[in-house]
Chains A and B, each alone.
Chain A
Amino acid sequence: MAQILHEKDSVRLRKVLVQLLARSESDDCLLCDSGGHVLALEGASKHDPFLISALGAGIFGASRELARMLGENEFSAVLHQGEHRSIFLRAVDADTLLVMIFSRSANVGLVKLYSTPAVDDLRQILADIQHGPSVPGPEDSRPFVLSPDAQLFSLRKE
């Protein structure tokens, strides 16, 4: 599972999402892991990406269990169709999920079609990140420092 995403990896992932967004005429594309973390996102949505990824990971986990029950390895994709907006979830690898949100003006067929090469590209990039020697940029190799005023969570002021 990806723990650190360096800037150059982000750029590569993003490129794929930008292209997918344009080709499929979707509103949003989001890449998340099975724990619900957001790896990358593109689109102009007002929806909270963190909620989408939490719910997306949940839906996908549930459908994976259903698949197992039916003796399928897994369902590789899930489509939820609404009147105005739809959402398409597709497995990238065992631990990563592509979420696409699109409106009525987009075509479901195209969304599915273009998601296939995109998923292949994403899978490749994720595999490179996993296995390849990662060269963090100079910015990325500094140690993390706790904020001096590490005020975590406090009550609202009356």
Chain B
Amino acid sequence: MSFVNFKKKEVQFKLVYYGPGLCGKTTNLQVIHRLINPEARGDLTSIATAGERTLFFDFMPLVANAIEGFQTRFQLYTVPGQVMYNLTRRMVLRGVDGVVFVADSQWSKMSENVESFANLEENLRLQSETLQTLPHVLQYNKRDLPDVAPVHFMEFMLNNGAVRQSSFPAVATTGEGVFEALNMVARLVLHKFMTVHNRKEEGACELALV
């Protein structure tokens, strides 16, 4: 849930990278950290096992110039993809404003993708949130590998709701499809924020809290 601080003239949003184990969520943040204009980012902090699997989350704050008169902060998180860490995923999802669902394009990972997507929907439901209203995009990662499913098949498996979401083929290790997904989800989040807040401002009685 976005957070506005009028005193500090600051708006905070929370973006979460979600997807099955080893699909490349942490890699997305690493490559953003490496390639983004350094003034726009803070440090990347990872809580991981010795084997580099995410144990708790990765975290990186980004700052953008998006809303007039306000500093706009996007806090990026990844969840641990391994099935057993579901409680942790729920914790990281709390108050989420936007999701990048990272899918692994390899044929062998298709059922894990579908399972992880269902798990996302279930965990959102537990916090009374749904993908119908939560801004999100899909990223089909690892397009450089030999044994990958065609994009239209991945769309059929993962992007088959009434409203088609934006999706991006990607090679997270090189940055391909990474900024595209980030910018799109950030735009969707901003758009929703504008719609919700400015509508409220016009109303007769403005509620400070929702």
Residues of A within 8 A of B (CB): 1-7, 10-11, 33-39, 48, 50-51, 54-55, 57-58, 61-62, 65, 129-130, 134, 136-137, 139-147, 149-157
Contacts and interface: CB of A to CB of B under 8 A. Distances in A.
A110 to B, nearest CB: 28
A84 B5 CA distance: 32
B207 A152 contact: no
B160 interface: no
Interface stretch (B98-106, B131-139, B194-202): B194-202
Interface of B: 1-8, 11-12, 14, 32, 35-38, 40, 42-43, 45, 47, 56-57, 59, 61-62, 64-70, 73, 75, 77, 87-88, 91-92, 94-96, 175, 179, 182-183, 186-187, 190, 193-194, 197-198, 201-202, 206-210
Given A5-B7, A37-B12, A146 B68 contact: yes
Nearest to B95: A35
Contacts of B87: 65
A144 B65 contact: no
A152 B186 contact: yes
A155 B95 contact: no
Contact of A144 (B183, B194, B207): B194
